[in-house]
Amino acid sequence: MEKEEFRVLIKHYFLIGKNASEAKKSLDKHYPKSAPDYHVVKYWFAKFKTGHMGTKDDERSGRPKEVVTPENIKKIHKIIFDDRKVTLIEIAETLKISSERVHHIIHEYLGMRKLCAKWMPRELTIDQKQQRVHYSEQCLKLINRNVAEFYRRYSTMNEIILPKKCVFLSNGEDFSIELIL
């Protein structure tokens, strides 16, 4: 049985005029393994005598309210994509939550990290992966049209000094560079 259910039973015993020890005996009789201790029954009787008839716990300082919610995750995601240079502290101040929780959401839920002062996804999204496949297929089509020409253009010379003047000549669709020495 849950704590709150026991509290309702304790309240019932209080309302029918029993005292704390009688309530404890009755609870022990009906719930021998899970009945609350006598000091708990006595505490709730004292609370009911002062007029507080609720059976829920009072708000306490201590562990903060849960801030890792879908709403906060969406808000942080929007803030970052509006301005990728935003800092943890700025986000925390905007949403009125701790910077530690903002850091946790960004790294664990959004999968991002700070790179060159910008928040970047750690991994590519599905859309980005599909774009890469599309562009790779386009490149393969270009290569397969004329493999020899591709390799001729792809080859580069290393460590050469280019002259000061280069002329770009166009013959049809292709562009070539003619070096004037």
Task: Answer whether residue 143 is part of any domain.
Answer: yes
Task: Answer whether residue 25 is part of any domain.
Answer: yes
Task: Answer whether residue 144 is part of any domain.
Answer: yes
Q: Tell me, what's the pLDDT at 63?
A: 61
Domain total of the chain = 3
User: Are both 132 and 114 inside the same structural domain?
Assistant: no
Tokens matching residue 33 = 């393994």
Q: Tell me, what's the pLDDT at 112?
A: 84
- CA angle 47/13/28 to nearest 5° reads 105
Cα(first)–Cα(last) distance of the chain, in Å? 94
Task: Answer whether residue 62 is part of any domain.
Answer: no
CA distance 119 to 11: 54
User: Are both 170 and 135 inside the same structural domain?
Assistant: yes
Q: Tell me, what's the pLDDT at 176?
A: 47
What's the predicted TM-score (pTM) here?
A: 0.37
CA distance 138 to 127: 17
User: Which residue ranges in the chain fall short of pLDDT 70?
Assistant: 62-65, 116-117, 153-181
Q: Tell me, what's the pLDDT at 52?
A: 86
Task: Answer whether residue 44 is part of any domain.
Answer: yes
User: Which residue range is the domain that position 89 belongs to?
Assistant: 71-118
Task: Answer whether residue 15 is part of any domain.
Answer: yes
Q: Tell me, what's the pLDDT at 181?
A: 42
Query: The CATH number of the domain where 45 resides is what?
Result: 1.10.10
Q: Tell me, what's the pLDDT at 154?
A: 65
Task: Answer whether residue 26 is part of any domain.
Answer: yes
Q: Tell me, what's the pLDDT at 64?
A: 59
Cβ(148)–Cβ(158) under 8 Å? no
Cβ burial of 177 (10 Å; 0-12, 13-18, 19+) is exposed
Q: Tens of pLDDT along 81-129?
A: 888 888 889 999 999 998 999 999 998 888 887 776 677 777 777 778 8
